[in-house]
């Protein structure tokens, strides 16, 4: 995959218009290409607006649709293959085994959330039946369940370029709950985040 140095806002790859960012190999000091440009205030606001606009539809997706989406994300990460590990090593100085383990953890988190979503127990559904003959007043049935609340912002960590980053546990849990996500990847590993 060719790295483009762009942000994904909504469904569009966008060149940022703020401060230029480069990945740097910590072992050699080499500046890595491509150049990434951070998002301006207007671009961040646009990302937030699109996430808010997507919320109504995404919150109504079925549990099966969300689970399938999370599983697809895990499969796509695995399909990147060694390129993801190589870029992660170049940007972080972490050894191959650590990054391979972290990739496994990241994909495992996505699949775990998919299985939890599919099971539905997390909704914590409760129903207290109506009591029409209750005195002094009848009671309607009372229903309770967990619901998505809206878009979630996730800020990627410097020390876990996969498991606590763009597709990490915070992102996975928000998507599992039915919340769109705005992610700010860490500037120490922009190429890893793009992949």
- For residue 5, being part of any structural domain is answered with no
pLDDT in tens, 48-57: 999 999 999 9
pLDDT in tens, 96-143: 999 999 999 999 999 999 999 999 999 999 999 999 999 999 999 999
CATH of the domain at 85: 3.40.605.10
- For residue 1, being part of any structural domain is answered with no
- For residue 179, being part of any structural domain is answered with yes
- For residue 33, being part of any structural domain is answered with no
pLDDT in tens, 40-95: 999 999 999 999 999 999 999 999 999 999 999 999 999 999 999 999 999 999 99
- For residue 15, being part of any structural domain is answered with no
Give the number of domains in the chain: 1
- For residue 93, being part of any structural domain is answered with yes
Q: Which of 26, 48, 46, 32 is nearest to 152 (CA)?
A: 48
- Model confidence pTM above 0.95: no
pLDDT higher than 90, residue 1: no
Q: Which of 75, 84, 76 is nearest to 102 (CA)?
A: 84
- Residues near 4 by beta carbon (within 8 Å), at least 6 away in sequence: 13, 34, 194
Average pLDDT, the chain: 96
Number of C-beta neighbours around residue 102 at 10 A: 21
- For residue 121, being part of any structural domain is answered with yes
Q: What is the pLDDT of residue 115?
A: 98
Would you give the distance in Å from CA 39 to the centre of its chain? 18
- For residue 53, being part of any structural domain is answered with yes
Q: 143: domain range?
A: 42-194
């Amino acid at each position: 995959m060719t790295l483009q140095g762009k942000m994904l806002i909504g469904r569009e790859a966008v060149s940022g218009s703020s401060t230029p960012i480069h990945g740097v190999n910590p072992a050699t000091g080499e500046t890595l290409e491509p150049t990434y440009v951070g998002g301006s205030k207007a671009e961040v606001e646009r990302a937030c607006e699109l996430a808010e606009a997507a919320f109504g539809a995404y919150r109504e997706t079925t549990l099966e649709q969300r689970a399938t989406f999370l599983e697809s994300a895990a499969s796509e990460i695995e399909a990147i293959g060694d390129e993801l590990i190589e870029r992660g090593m170049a940007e972080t100085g972490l050894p191959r085994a650590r990054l391979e383990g972290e990739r496994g953890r990241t994909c495992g988190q996505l699949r775990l959330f998919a299985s939890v979503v599919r099971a539905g127990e997390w909704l914590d559904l409760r129903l207290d039946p109506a009591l029409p003959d209750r005195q002094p007043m009848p009671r309607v049935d009372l229903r309770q369940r967990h619901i998505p609340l809206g878009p979630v912002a996730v800020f990627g960590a410097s020390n876990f370029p996969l498991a606590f980053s763009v597709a990490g546990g915070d992102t996975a849990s928000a998507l599992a709950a039915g919340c769109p996500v705005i992610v700010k990847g860490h500037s120490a590993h922009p190429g890893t985040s793009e992949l």
